Structure 1
Amino acid sequence: MLLSIHAGAVIETYEFSTPALEARYQLLSEELRCPKCQNQNIADSNAPISQDLRRLLHQQLEAGASDEEILEFMVARYGEFVRYRPAFNAATAVLWLAPLILLLAGVAGLLLILRGRRDGAAALTEDDQAQLATLLQTPEKDA
Protein backbone atom coordinates (compact mmCIF):
# COMPACT_ATOMS: atom_id res chain seq x y z
CA MET A 1 0.00 0.00 0.00
CA LEU A 2 2.82 2.41 0.73
CA LEU A 3 4.12 2.03 -2.80
CA SER A 4 0.80 3.19 -4.25
CA ILE A 5 1.15 6.59 -2.53
CA HIS A 6 4.05 7.52 -4.77
CA ALA A 7 2.28 6.35 -7.92
CA GLY A 8 0.20 9.54 -8.05
CA ALA A 9 3.14 11.89 -7.55
CA VAL A 10 4.08 14.34 -10.29
CA ILE A 11 7.17 13.13 -12.11
CA GLU A 12 8.48 15.71 -14.54
CA THR A 13 12.00 16.75 -15.12
CA TYR A 14 13.15 19.88 -16.83
CA GLU A 15 16.71 20.78 -17.67
CA PHE A 16 17.66 24.21 -16.38
CA SER A 17 20.62 26.24 -17.54
CA THR A 18 21.42 27.33 -13.96
CA PRO A 19 20.57 26.12 -10.45
CA ALA A 20 19.11 29.59 -9.74
CA LEU A 21 16.49 29.09 -12.47
CA GLU A 22 15.59 25.72 -11.00
CA ALA A 23 15.13 27.30 -7.55
CA ARG A 24 12.92 30.03 -9.05
CA TYR A 25 10.93 27.35 -10.89
CA GLN A 26 10.29 25.51 -7.62
CA LEU A 27 9.16 28.70 -5.84
CA LEU A 28 6.90 29.85 -8.68
CA SER A 29 5.35 26.42 -9.23
CA GLU A 30 4.36 26.39 -5.56
CA GLU A 31 2.97 29.95 -5.79
CA LEU A 32 0.74 29.23 -8.79
CA ARG A 33 -2.57 27.46 -8.24
CA CYS A 34 -3.97 24.84 -10.61
CA PRO A 35 -7.02 26.39 -12.33
CA LYS A 36 -8.75 23.01 -12.45
CA CYS A 37 -7.90 21.53 -9.05
CA GLN A 38 -8.33 24.82 -7.14
CA ASN A 39 -6.76 23.49 -3.94
CA GLN A 40 -3.40 22.38 -5.33
CA ASN A 41 -0.49 24.28 -6.70
CA ILE A 42 0.82 23.39 -10.14
CA ALA A 43 3.80 21.60 -8.59
CA ASP A 44 1.52 19.01 -6.94
CA SER A 45 -1.24 18.70 -9.52
CA ASN A 46 -1.42 15.99 -12.18
CA ALA A 47 -4.07 17.86 -14.18
CA PRO A 48 -3.21 18.45 -17.85
CA ILE A 49 -3.56 22.22 -17.37
CA SER A 50 -0.94 22.09 -14.61
CA GLN A 51 1.43 20.19 -16.87
CA ASP A 52 0.97 22.92 -19.48
CA LEU A 53 1.55 25.64 -16.88
CA ARG A 54 4.73 23.94 -15.65
CA ARG A 55 6.01 23.67 -19.24
CA LEU A 56 5.14 27.33 -19.88
CA LEU A 57 6.82 28.35 -16.62
CA HIS A 58 9.98 26.50 -17.63
CA GLN A 59 9.98 28.13 -21.07
CA GLN A 60 9.52 31.62 -19.64
CA LEU A 61 12.26 31.16 -17.06
CA GLU A 62 14.69 29.94 -19.70
CA ALA A 63 13.69 32.88 -21.93
CA GLY A 64 14.80 35.28 -19.19
CA ALA A 65 11.43 36.49 -17.84
CA SER A 66 11.41 37.87 -14.31
CA ASP A 67 9.19 36.43 -11.59
CA GLU A 68 6.94 39.50 -11.78
CA GLU A 69 6.56 39.17 -15.56
CA ILE A 70 5.67 35.50 -15.24
CA LEU A 71 3.10 36.16 -12.52
CA GLU A 72 1.59 39.06 -14.50
CA PHE A 73 1.31 36.82 -17.57
CA MET A 74 -0.38 34.03 -15.60
CA VAL A 75 -2.79 36.46 -13.93
CA ALA A 76 -3.63 38.08 -17.27
CA ARG A 77 -4.37 34.67 -18.74
CA TYR A 78 -6.08 32.87 -15.82
CA GLY A 79 -7.14 35.66 -13.46
CA GLU A 80 -5.99 36.56 -9.96
CA PHE A 81 -7.25 33.17 -8.74
CA VAL A 82 -4.15 31.49 -10.20
CA ARG A 83 -2.04 32.98 -7.40
CA TYR A 84 -2.13 31.60 -3.87
CA ARG A 85 -1.25 35.07 -2.54
CA PRO A 86 -3.09 37.52 -4.80
CA ALA A 87 -1.79 41.07 -5.07
CA PHE A 88 -3.43 43.70 -2.88
CA ASN A 89 -5.58 45.91 -5.10
CA ALA A 90 -9.16 47.17 -5.27
CA ALA A 91 -10.47 43.83 -6.53
CA THR A 92 -8.79 41.78 -3.76
CA ALA A 93 -9.05 44.25 -0.86
CA VAL A 94 -12.00 42.38 0.66
CA LEU A 95 -10.06 39.12 0.50
CA TRP A 96 -7.11 40.61 2.35
CA LEU A 97 -9.09 42.75 4.82
CA ALA A 98 -11.93 40.33 5.65
CA PRO A 99 -10.07 38.58 8.52
CA LEU A 100 -9.25 41.91 10.16
CA ILE A 101 -12.80 43.21 9.70
CA LEU A 102 -14.28 40.02 11.17
CA LEU A 103 -11.89 40.16 14.13
CA LEU A 104 -12.79 43.79 14.86
CA ALA A 105 -16.51 43.01 14.54
CA GLY A 106 -16.12 40.11 16.99
CA VAL A 107 -14.28 42.25 19.52
CA ALA A 108 -16.90 45.02 19.20
CA GLY A 109 -19.70 42.49 19.68
CA LEU A 110 -18.01 41.02 22.73
CA LEU A 111 -17.54 44.47 24.25
CA LEU A 112 -21.21 45.31 23.67
CA ILE A 113 -22.31 42.07 25.34
CA LEU A 114 -20.04 42.60 28.34
CA ARG A 115 -21.14 46.24 28.66
CA GLY A 116 -24.80 45.20 28.57
CA ARG A 117 -24.27 42.65 31.36
CA ARG A 118 -22.48 45.17 33.56
CA ASP A 119 -25.14 47.86 33.09
CA GLY A 120 -27.99 45.39 33.58
CA ALA A 121 -26.61 44.09 36.90
CA ALA A 122 -26.25 47.55 38.45
CA ALA A 123 -29.75 48.80 37.58
CA LEU A 124 -32.14 47.66 40.37
CA THR A 125 -35.46 49.40 40.81
CA GLU A 126 -36.41 50.90 44.15
CA ASP A 127 -38.91 48.08 44.76
CA ASP A 128 -36.18 45.50 44.08
CA GLN A 129 -33.80 47.24 46.46
CA ALA A 130 -36.45 47.38 49.21
CA GLN A 131 -37.29 43.70 48.73
CA LEU A 132 -33.58 42.79 48.85
CA ALA A 133 -33.09 44.78 52.06
CA THR A 134 -36.06 43.00 53.64
CA LEU A 135 -34.71 39.60 52.68
CA LEU A 136 -31.28 40.39 54.07
CA GLN A 137 -32.69 41.57 57.43
CA THR A 138 -35.03 38.63 58.15
CA PRO A 139 -33.32 35.51 59.53
CA GLU A 140 -34.11 32.18 57.91
CA LYS A 141 -35.76 29.52 60.02
CA ASP A 142 -34.59 25.96 59.67
CA ALA A 143 -37.31 23.44 59.03
Structure 2
Amino acid sequence: MKLLATIILLLIPMSVFAVEPDEILQDPMLEQRAREISKELRCVVCQNQDIDSSNAGVARDLRILVRERLVAGDTDEEVISYIHARYGDYVLMRPPFNATTAALWLAPFILAAVSLLIGWWVLSTSRKRRTSVRLSAKEEAEVARYIEAKKAGEP
Protein backbone atom coordinates (compact mmCIF):
# COMPACT_ATOMS: atom_id res chain seq x y z
CA MET A 1 0.00 0.00 0.00
CA LYS A 2 2.83 2.37 0.86
CA LEU A 3 4.56 1.47 -2.40
CA LEU A 4 1.45 2.35 -4.40
CA ALA A 5 1.07 5.68 -2.60
CA THR A 6 4.73 6.47 -3.23
CA ILE A 7 4.42 5.67 -6.94
CA ILE A 8 1.32 7.85 -7.26
CA LEU A 9 3.02 10.73 -5.47
CA LEU A 10 6.02 10.43 -7.77
CA LEU A 11 3.94 10.30 -10.97
CA ILE A 12 1.67 13.28 -10.22
CA PRO A 13 4.37 15.95 -10.54
CA MET A 14 5.68 14.47 -13.80
CA SER A 15 2.80 15.97 -15.76
CA VAL A 16 3.76 19.42 -14.50
CA PHE A 17 7.12 19.15 -16.25
CA ALA A 18 5.77 17.94 -19.61
CA VAL A 19 6.63 21.19 -21.39
CA GLU A 20 10.39 21.24 -21.41
CA PRO A 21 12.39 24.44 -21.02
CA ASP A 22 13.77 24.32 -24.57
CA GLU A 23 10.20 24.35 -25.95
CA ILE A 24 9.11 27.53 -24.17
CA LEU A 25 8.82 30.59 -26.39
CA GLN A 26 10.50 33.88 -25.47
CA ASP A 27 7.30 35.88 -26.06
CA PRO A 28 5.02 35.29 -23.02
CA MET A 29 1.85 36.04 -25.04
CA LEU A 30 2.73 33.46 -27.69
CA GLU A 31 3.67 30.97 -24.99
CA GLN A 32 0.31 31.49 -23.28
CA ARG A 33 -1.49 30.93 -26.60
CA ALA A 34 0.60 27.81 -27.21
CA ARG A 35 -0.35 26.47 -23.77
CA GLU A 36 -4.06 27.10 -24.38
CA ILE A 37 -3.92 25.40 -27.79
CA SER A 38 -1.96 22.48 -26.32
CA LYS A 39 -4.73 21.90 -23.80
CA GLU A 40 -7.22 21.54 -26.69
CA LEU A 41 -5.16 18.85 -28.45
CA ARG A 42 -5.06 15.20 -27.40
CA CYS A 43 -1.86 13.19 -27.36
CA VAL A 44 -2.24 10.51 -30.03
CA VAL A 45 -0.23 8.03 -27.93
CA CYS A 46 -1.65 8.69 -24.46
CA GLN A 47 -5.21 7.94 -23.50
CA ASN A 48 -7.23 11.10 -22.96
CA GLN A 49 -4.33 13.35 -22.02
CA ASP A 50 -3.68 16.70 -23.63
CA ILE A 51 -0.31 17.36 -25.25
CA ASP A 52 0.45 20.08 -22.72
CA SER A 53 0.67 17.55 -19.89
CA SER A 54 1.95 14.52 -21.80
CA ASN A 55 5.56 13.35 -21.69
CA ALA A 56 5.26 11.26 -24.88
CA GLY A 57 7.62 12.03 -27.74
CA VAL A 58 4.73 12.62 -30.13
CA ALA A 59 3.23 15.14 -27.72
CA ARG A 60 6.55 16.98 -27.59
CA ASP A 61 6.65 17.07 -31.38
CA LEU A 62 3.10 18.43 -31.48
CA ARG A 63 3.92 21.10 -28.87
CA ILE A 64 6.90 22.19 -30.96
CA LEU A 65 4.73 22.22 -34.09
CA VAL A 66 2.13 24.39 -32.34
CA ARG A 67 4.83 26.86 -31.32
CA GLU A 68 6.35 26.91 -34.82
CA ARG A 69 2.97 27.67 -36.36
CA LEU A 70 2.34 30.48 -33.84
CA VAL A 71 5.76 32.02 -34.54
CA ALA A 72 4.95 31.81 -38.28
CA GLY A 73 1.90 34.01 -37.58
CA ASP A 74 -0.98 31.50 -37.62
CA THR A 75 -4.08 32.19 -35.54
CA ASP A 76 -5.16 29.72 -32.86
CA GLU A 77 -7.86 28.32 -35.18
CA GLU A 78 -5.37 27.90 -38.03
CA VAL A 79 -2.96 25.98 -35.77
CA ILE A 80 -5.71 23.66 -34.56
CA SER A 81 -6.99 23.18 -38.14
CA TYR A 82 -3.46 22.41 -39.36
CA ILE A 83 -2.97 19.66 -36.76
CA HIS A 84 -6.56 18.41 -37.14
CA ALA A 85 -6.04 18.00 -40.90
CA ARG A 86 -3.03 15.76 -40.28
CA TYR A 87 -4.23 13.68 -37.31
CA GLY A 88 -8.02 13.63 -37.69
CA ASP A 89 -10.78 14.04 -35.11
CA TYR A 90 -8.96 11.96 -32.49
CA VAL A 91 -6.40 14.71 -31.87
CA LEU A 92 -9.09 17.14 -30.68
CA MET A 93 -10.09 17.03 -27.02
CA ARG A 94 -13.58 18.12 -28.11
CA PRO A 95 -14.14 16.46 -31.50
CA PRO A 96 -16.87 17.86 -33.77
CA PHE A 97 -20.24 16.13 -34.03
CA ASN A 98 -20.38 14.27 -37.35
CA ALA A 99 -21.15 10.80 -38.68
CA THR A 100 -17.86 9.31 -37.46
CA THR A 101 -18.10 10.77 -33.95
CA ALA A 102 -21.86 10.40 -33.41
CA ALA A 103 -21.40 7.28 -31.28
CA LEU A 104 -18.86 9.11 -29.14
CA TRP A 105 -21.25 11.98 -28.47
CA LEU A 106 -24.47 9.95 -28.17
CA ALA A 107 -23.23 6.93 -26.23
CA PRO A 108 -23.46 8.56 -22.77
CA PHE A 109 -27.08 9.60 -23.36
CA ILE A 110 -28.04 6.22 -24.79
CA LEU A 111 -26.37 4.37 -21.90
CA ALA A 112 -28.11 6.64 -19.39
CA ALA A 113 -31.50 6.03 -21.04
CA VAL A 114 -30.94 2.26 -21.14
CA SER A 115 -29.87 2.31 -17.47
CA LEU A 116 -32.99 4.24 -16.49
CA LEU A 117 -35.21 1.83 -18.43
CA ILE A 118 -33.58 -1.20 -16.80
CA GLY A 119 -33.93 0.42 -13.37
CA TRP A 120 -37.59 1.22 -14.01
CA TRP A 121 -38.22 -2.34 -15.22
CA VAL A 122 -36.51 -3.90 -12.17
CA LEU A 123 -38.43 -1.68 -9.75
CA SER A 124 -41.78 -2.26 -11.43
CA THR A 125 -41.35 -6.05 -11.51
CA SER A 126 -40.26 -6.12 -7.88
CA ARG A 127 -43.36 -4.14 -6.89
CA LYS A 128 -45.56 -6.62 -8.72
CA ARG A 129 -43.99 -9.49 -6.81
CA ARG A 130 -44.64 -7.79 -3.48
CA THR A 131 -48.40 -7.73 -3.91
CA SER A 132 -50.04 -10.16 -1.53
CA VAL A 133 -51.94 -13.12 -2.86
CA ARG A 134 -55.37 -13.59 -1.32
CA LEU A 135 -56.22 -17.05 0.02
CA SER A 136 -59.29 -18.78 -1.24
CA ALA A 137 -62.11 -19.51 1.19
CA LYS A 138 -61.08 -23.17 1.29
CA GLU A 139 -57.48 -22.26 2.12
CA GLU A 140 -58.57 -19.81 4.82
CA ALA A 141 -60.73 -22.51 6.43
CA GLU A 142 -57.79 -24.94 6.35
CA VAL A 143 -55.47 -22.38 7.99
CA ALA A 144 -58.11 -21.66 10.66
CA ARG A 145 -58.47 -25.40 11.41
CA TYR A 146 -54.68 -25.71 11.67
CA ILE A 147 -54.47 -22.79 14.11
CA GLU A 148 -57.33 -24.20 16.24
CA ALA A 149 -55.66 -27.61 16.25
CA LYS A 150 -52.37 -26.06 17.45
CA LYS A 151 -54.18 -24.17 20.20
CA ALA A 152 -55.86 -27.38 21.34
CA GLY A 153 -52.50 -29.13 21.48
CA GLU A 154 -53.05 -31.52 18.64
CA PRO A 155 -50.07 -32.47 16.47
Tell me which interval the TM-score lies in, with the shorter structure as reference length: 0.7 to 0.9
The reply to whether residue 57 of structure 1 matches residue 66 of structure 2 is yes
Partner of 1:68: 77
The reply to whether residue 40 of structure 1 matches residue 46 of structure 2 is no
Q: Which of 117, 120, 128 is the equivalent residue of 2:129?
A: 120
Partner of 2:118: 109
Larger radius of gyration: 2
The reply to whether residue 83 of structure 1 matches residue 92 of structure 2 is yes
The one-letter code sitting in structure 2 at the alignment partner of 1:61 is L
Partner of 1:129: 135
The C-alpha deviation readout for 1:21-54, integer Å capped at 9, x for no partner, is: 3222111112212222334322223333222211
DSSP 3-state at the match of 1:31: coil
CA distance in 2, matches of 1:7, 1:46: 8
Offset at residue 121 of structure 1 (A): 3.4
The one-letter code sitting in structure 2 at the alignment partner of 1:129 is L
Offset at residue 132 of structure 1 (A): 5.7
DSSP 3-state at the match of 1:129: coil
More helix by share: 2
Change (3 A) 1:114 1:47: closer
Change (3 A) 1:108 1:136: farther
The one-letter code sitting in structure 1 at the alignment partner of 2:135 is Q
Name the TM-score, length of structure 1 as normaliser. 0.74
Change (3 A) 1:133 1:100: farther
RMSD of equivalent CA atoms: 3.1
Change (3 A) 1:117 1:59: same
CA distance in 2, matches of 1:67, 1:136: 86
CA distance in 2, matches of 1:133, 1:33: 75
Q: Any unmatched runs of 5+ in structure 2?
A: 1-5
Name the TM-score, length of structure 2 as normaliser. 0.69
The one-letter code sitting in structure 1 at the alignment partner of 2:87 is Y
Q: Percent identity?
A: 36
CA distance in 2, matches of 1:78, 1:133: 80
Q: Any unmatched runs of 5+ in structure 1?
A: none
Q: Which of 104, 107, 111 is the equivalent residue of 1:98?
A: 107
Partner of 2:37: 28
